[in-house]
Amino acid sequence: MGGFRKEVETLIRARYPIIYVLTWEESRIEKDLLEVSEHLKKGLFSWAITTGFRQLPDGKPDGGTTDPLRALNYVLESKDNGLFLLRDFDPYMKDPTVVRKLRDLARELKTSYRTLMIVSPVLNIPDHLEKDISVLDYQLPERDEIRTLLDRIINQVSNNPRISVSLKDDDKELLVNAALGLTASEAENVFAKAIVSDGGLTVADVDIILSEKRQIIRKSGILEFYPAEEDIGDVGGLELLKDWLRKRGKAFSPKAREFGLPHPKGGLLLGVQGCGKSLCAKAVSSLWKLPLLRLDIGSLFSGIVGSSEENMRRAIRLAESVAPCILWLDELEKSFSGVRSSDVSDGGTTSRVFGSFIQWMQEKTDPVFVIATANDVSALPPELLRKGRFDEIFFVDLPTEDERAEIFNIHLTKRNREPAQFDLVALSQEADGFSGAEIEQVVVSALYDAFDEDREITQEDLLSNITGTVPLSTTMKERLQGLRDWARTRARPASEATVTAAFDDGRKLEI
């Protein structure tokens, strides 16, 4: 017997009078409760405002019990020792008469063999009923259920000559992984959509499944769904970080669980502005074929007491509901920089939100990979940097000469120019101290110059824009050196590049 069915049966046998189940999946939970009722040799009666009570699986509805109070009286007066399931009953629990009737019913049910169950996607329990109602979360379909659902759909279409299913076992796992976090109905719908859209099922249909998750995120209004438009090949350099990410991407598979590997927790990317931290976060989604969700912690804060903490909990629950996924927090230091003064500045709200977040990071078991970026490490709370929150902390420095040449190559190629027509080595040497973002702007500015004169871009255009740019490494030299000094013993380098140490006389030693 499944975990939910076992827990429900335990509560029923222990004579818990009212059980409140949070779920969107009425059909699926009715199927589970039918198994529980058969095992306990009880009847199962389902109620809705539109039909009244009817006995499952195929009983006729009783139209005289559609009124909520009559429905509760029906349970109270029933001679059947069964389970009574009220669907979407929570709106009627605002009525004082209904609340009083439920309290009376709870007392009576404790001495009977009847159990009342309320099923709704919304948790709404009046204060008067808090001690009488037990709340259960109905879990979304697990991997085995999604795989069974996929196999059933494949079998149904296997004899149709117009439908082609080309899936290896590993491809099936990718589809199943992508569908985790959907309800059974949503998964069935999106598999059907994939078949209809291209006449079959292939590994390429992962994108269609992720689009369904995008709808879930969009409707929440808390998290932002980022499409997987960036590729890991769009990131110049950072080979150590890329290699680390490739290895962690394999750890979401069942084979990794069998091997004894836990789900990866996350990574923190510290470093110079404009050197590819955010780009890496976006590219991981494409590399791992997982949805990327962006959490703007500043948007969680509200003037209503307690609502900021609840918004954080909602964001976490939502991320877990579409797991496996990647949760991206950009410029983390701006979100939690006020933790130390929170008791004075905002009544402790920032501190409580931060506490909820780091506790979840420490204890989470769902496959939600947190990738966070930060430019100013001094503004980060020290609790965030201790081991166990993130799997690894990477320092992203300015690109080296070879990496700068690679970045010029990437941005020229993205803009339909042939890199071989340019001296990338000379450009890279001239752009010493430039970040990846500054190199991109050099290419864009050179294109503007050439377009204005109605001609093709040249090497001179690029060199001219390099000369006319003062890089951030010059204007913020001291701050950059302080960041490097901090990272030398506290973070892992993101690149195979040599570490540069600056001396007082201006010389640079490559170590």
Interstrand relation of 18-22 and 133-137 (parallel, antiparallel or unpaired): parallel
Residue written as token pair 């306990």 = 40
Interstrand relation of 44-48 and 52-56 (parallel, antiparallel or unpaired): antiparallel
Does residue 21 carry a pLDDT above 60? Answer: yes
Q: For domain 232-396, give the CATH superfamily.
A: P-loop containing nucleotide triphosphate hydrolases (3.40.50.300)
Q: Which of 470, 4, 495 is nearest to 236 (CA)?
A: 495
Strand partners, 56: 44
Give me the residue spans of the domains in the chain: 3-137, 143-220, 232-396, 401-473
Q: What is the pLDDT of residue 404?
A: 92
User: Which comes out higher in pLDDT, residue 183 or 37?
Assistant: 37
- Contact yes or no for 202/230 (Cβ under 8 A): no
Q: CA–CA separation, 33 vs 83, rounded Å?
A: 8
**Residue spans of beta strands (DSSP E) within 234-334:** 266-271, 292-294, 325-329
SS3 86: strand
Q: CA–CA separation, 315 vs 220, rounded Å?
A: 9
Q: What is the pLDDT of residue 45?
A: 95
User: Which comes out higher in pLDDT, residue 221 or 281?
Assistant: 281
Q: Which has the minimum average pLDDT: 20-29, 95-104, 336-345?
A: 336-345
Q: What is the pLDDT of residue 458?
A: 94
Q: Which of 135, 47, 40 is nearest to 84 (CA)?
A: 47
CA angle 437, 442, 446 (to 5 degrees): 150
First-to-last C-alpha distance (Å) of the chain: 61
Residue 103 burial class via C-beta count within 10 angstroms: exposed 0-12, middle 13-18, buried 19 and up? middle
Q: Note whether 3-137 and 232-396 share their fold.
A: yes
Q: Which of 491, 469, 458 is nearest to 272 (CA)?
A: 491
What mean pLDDT comes out for the span 162-182?
82
CA torsion, ordered 431, 436, 438, 444, to nearest 10 deg: 100
Q: What is the pLDDT of residue 81?
A: 87
pLDDT tens digits, one per residue of 457-481: 999 999 999 999 888 888 888 888 8
- Contact yes or no for 400/495 (Cβ under 8 A): yes
Does residue 344 carry a pLDDT above 80? Answer: no
CA angle 479, 484, 488 (to 5 degrees): 155
Instruction: Quote the crossing angle between the two packed helices 96-109 and 68-77, to the nearest 10°.
Output: 10
Strand partners, 268: 372, 393
Q: Which two tokens stand for residue 429?
A: 């040497």
Q: CA–CA separation, 184 vs 199, rounded Å?
A: 22
Within 13 Å and on the Cβ side, how many CA atoms surround 436?
25
181 — pLDDT class (breaks 50, 70, 90): confident
In angstroms, the Cα distances linking 372 to 26, 28, 37 are 37, 37, 47
Q: What is the pLDDT of residue 40?
A: 93
19 — pLDDT class (breaks 50, 70, 90): very high
324 — pLDDT class (breaks 50, 70, 90): confident
DSSP for residue 263:
P
Mean pLDDT of the chain: 85
Q: CA–CA separation, 30 vs 88, rounded Å?
A: 14
Q: What is the pLDDT of residue 508?
A: 43
SS3 21: strand
- Looking at domain 401-473, its CATH architecture is Orthogonal Bundle (1.10)
Stated as kind and residue range, the H or E segment containing 134 is strand 133-137
What mean pLDDT comes out for the span 5-25?
92
Topology given in CATH for the domain delimited by 143-220: Helicase, Ruva Protein; domain 3 (1.10.8)
H/E/C letters for each residue in 417-476?
A: CCHHHCCHHHHHHHCCCCCHHHHHHHHHHHHHHHHHCCCCCCHHHHHHHHHCCCCHHHHC
Q: Which has the minimum average pLDDT: 102-116, 182-196, 410-424?
A: 182-196
pLDDT tens digits, one per residue of 403-461: 999 999 999 999 999 999 999 999 999 999 999 999 999 999 999 999 999 999 999 99
Read off the pTM: 0.66
395's CB contacts (< 8 A; 6+ apart) are 270, 271, 483, 484, 487, 491, 492, 493, 494
110's CB contacts (< 8 A; 6+ apart) are 15, 17
pLDDT tens digits, one per residue of 34-78: 999 999 999 999 999 999 999 999 899 998 999 999 999 999 999
| 3-137: CATH number | 3.40.50.300
pLDDT tens digits, one per residue of 201-256: 888 888 888 777 777 777 767 788 877 777 888 888 889 998 999 988 888 887 88
Instruction: Quote the crossing angle between the two packed helices 26-40 and 184-198, to the nearest 10°.
Output: 130
Dihedral sign for Cα 194, 197, 198, 200, please.
positive
The b-or-e profile of 264-289 (16+ CB within 10 A means b, else e) is: bbbbbbbbbbbbbbbbbbbbbbbbbb
In angstroms, the Cα distances linking 96 to 93, 103, 378, 464 are 7, 11, 54, 76
Within 13 Å and on the Cβ side, how many CA atoms surround 320?
14
User: Which comes out higher in pLDDT, residue 379 or 394?
Assistant: 394
Q: Which two tokens stand for residue 434?
A: 């430039």
CA angle 383, 385, 387 (to 5 degrees): 100
